[in-house]
């Protein structure tokens, strides 16, 4: 696929290429899931830019709608209320087509959420080893689940609890020690194959 260099070092598709990429069924939403710190938003933004889709981050959309940060929602209304907001966002809170959505790490955890996502579009899981996640989240202040004394222990517990579930979500794309450009290309290859089959 031919690329134009923007000068920023990141290839984007030319207009006609984006159109031919989109094709008949290539307007299906793409949902990126995976543990916190796996790079869902960074990769999602890049992929959205390359195909001309709208990029949305479920945490940011919920924060915008509620007028408060995720940490305040957890503290004042509890995790269950936040999970209900995530479900509401997936059910009714975003356009049904041409979006790349970075899903908060726990969004896919409650029963039925994976099936719901799959009914809306292509689901791809971002993956990184726990050591990388520990590093990437070491300066985090905004993640309520990590506001504990022993952050490493908390992350290891959560990772172990959720690993199996993430593996079941769909194709996993490793985001560790790979350039963003390569990761985005991998995600796009998988998206293309799966979007062609979507709804069939």
Query: Is residue 44 involved in binding ligand S3P (CB under 6 A)?
Result: no
Is there a contact between 2 and 12 (Cβ–Cβ < 8 Å)? no
Ranges of beta strands (E only) in 94-198 are 99-102, 121-127, 171-174
Greatest distance between any 2 Cα atoms in the chain? 52
State the number of CA atoms in the 13 A half-sphere of 23 facing the CB.
Answer: 8
Quick note: the x/- pattern for ligand S3P over 46-85, rule CB under 6 A, is -------------x----------x---------------
Could you tell me the smallest distance in angstroms from the CB atom of residue 57 to ligand S3P? Answer: 7
* Measured distance CA(80)–CA(94) in Å, rounded: 21
Residue 123, interface with ligand S3P (CB under 6 A)? Answer: no
Q: How far is the CB of 181 from ligand S3P (least distance, A)?
A: 22
Q: Indicate which single residue of 13, 36, 73, 90 sits in contact with ligand S3P (rule: CB under 6 A).
A: 36
In this structure, the strands spanning 4-5 and 11-12 are: antiparallel
Binding mask 155-194 for ligand S3P (x = CB under 6 A): ----------------------------------------
| CA separation for the pair 93, 57 (Å, rounded) | 12
Nearest Cα neighbor of 183 from 98, 125, 133, 129 is 125
Instruction: Find the distance separating the first CA and the last CA of the chain, reported in whole Å.
Output: 26
Least distance CB 68 / ligand S3P (angstroms) = 13
Interaction of residue 106 with ligand S3P, rule CB under 6 A: yes
Which span (13-21, 93-101, 104-112, 124-132) binds ligand S3P, by CB under 6 A? Answer: 104-112
Interacting residues with ligand S3P (CB under 6 A)? 36, 59, 70, 104-106, 143-145
């Amino acid at each position: 696929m031919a690329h134009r260099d923007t000068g920023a070092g990141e290839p984007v598709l030319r207009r006609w290429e984006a159109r031919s990429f989109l094709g008949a069924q290539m307007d299906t939403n793409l949902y990126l899931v995976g543990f916190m710190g796996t790079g869902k938003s960074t990769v999602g933004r890049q992929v959205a830019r390359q195909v001309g889709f709208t990029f949305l981050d479920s945490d940011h959309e919920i924060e915008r709608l509620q007028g408060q940060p995720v940490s305040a929602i957890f503290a004042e209304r509890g995790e269950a209320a936040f999970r209900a907001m995530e479900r509401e966002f997936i059910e009714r809170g975003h356009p049904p087509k041409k979006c790349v959505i970075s899903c908060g790490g726990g969004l896919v955890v409650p029963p039925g959420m994976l099936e719901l996502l799959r009914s809306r579009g292509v689901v791809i899981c971002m993956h990184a080893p726990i050591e990388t996640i520990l590093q990437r989240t070491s300066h985090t202040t905004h993640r309520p689940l990590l506001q504990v004394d022993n952050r490493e222990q908390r992350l290891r517990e959560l990772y172990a609890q959720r690993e199996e579930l993430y593996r079941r979500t769909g194709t996993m794309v490793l985001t560790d020690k790979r350039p963003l450009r390569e990761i985005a290309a991998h995600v796009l290859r998988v998206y293309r194959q799966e979007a062609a089959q979507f709804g069939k």
